Amino acid sequence: MHNAHRPNLDDLPTARQLWRSTAIAAGAAALILVTVVWPSEYGIDPTGIGGALGLAEMGEIKIQLAEEAEADRLMMEGNVEPQSSLQPGLLDVIFGAMVGTAHAQEAPAEAAAWTEEITFALAPGQGIEIKLVMEESAVASFEWAVEGGEVNFDLHGDGPGNSISYEKGRAVPGAAGELTAAFTGNHGWFWRNRGDAAVNVTLRVAGAYSEIKRFD
């Protein structure tokens, strides 16, 4: 201890250098807070960077799960008020948006005069692919339903040098809506039965397509 050399004052950072380093560190922390922490933890994305990185969606899911967990806790404690007396919260807004989107997707299918109806059976583990041959921006209404269980599905498209996945789902009993072709090519569904029993799937379609292809 007595042999330790005192540092040279010229080697120590100046007050200006310390303030500059502190300001840089604070700025970096603020940038990380706004672009990473807020979007991923709270779904707040003022810069749009979180959405581009997929962090905002992560935050929204966390908020929804937290609200569902709190609702379950209150229900277990018997403290849930009648629904009519509760003010609409974020979960109610999200649920309402989901219901509204579902109705918007189902409306075109319900109103369509189906031009094709295909029913097929899927044994456990079996898959099948059915695609519509469509021009770019063409629109087709669809509706499909599973009898006897649920299936996994992938709504996708492919064409010369192009491929796209529109939507995927696991253990789904059915779906309805409109399919807008992102490019000229084949657009449709792949279903697979991951259950223990055979199921029947009925697909109905109508709209701007020239051909239906089936791949077993």
Q: What is the pLDDT of residue 31?
A: 79
Rounded-to-integer distance, Cα 165 and Cα 187, Å: 9
Q: What is the pLDDT of residue 7?
A: 61
Q: What is the pLDDT of residue 212?
A: 95
Q: What is the pLDDT of residue 10?
A: 62
Q: What is the pLDDT of residue 70?
A: 57
**Matching residue, tokens 């921006």:** 137
Under-70 pLDDT residues of the chain:
1-12, 38-40, 42-43, 50-51, 53-112
User: What dotted CATH number matches 110-215?
Assistant: 2.60.120.680
Of 132, 107, 94, 117, the residue nearest 215 (C-alpha): 132
Q: What is the pLDDT of residue 19?
A: 83
Q: What is the pLDDT of residue 22?
A: 84
Q: What is the pLDDT of residue 11?
A: 63
Q: What is the pLDDT of residue 79?
A: 42
Q: What is the pLDDT of residue 167?
A: 93
Cα–Cα distances in Å, from 67 out to 40, 43, 70, 84? Answer: 16, 13, 5, 18
Q: What is the pLDDT of residue 83?
A: 38
Rounded-to-integer distance, Cα 106 and Cα 72, Å: 30
Q: What is the pLDDT of residue 168?
A: 92
Q: What is the pLDDT of residue 48?
A: 76
Q: What is the pLDDT of residue 14?
A: 75
Q: How many CB atoms lie within 10 A of CB 99?
A: 10
DSSP state of 124: T
Which residues in the chain are classed under CATH 2.60.120.680? 110-215
Q: What is the pLDDT of residue 87?
A: 37
Rounded-to-integer distance, Cα 158 and Cα 10, Å: 68
Q: Nearest 5°: phi and psi at 190?
A: -120, 125
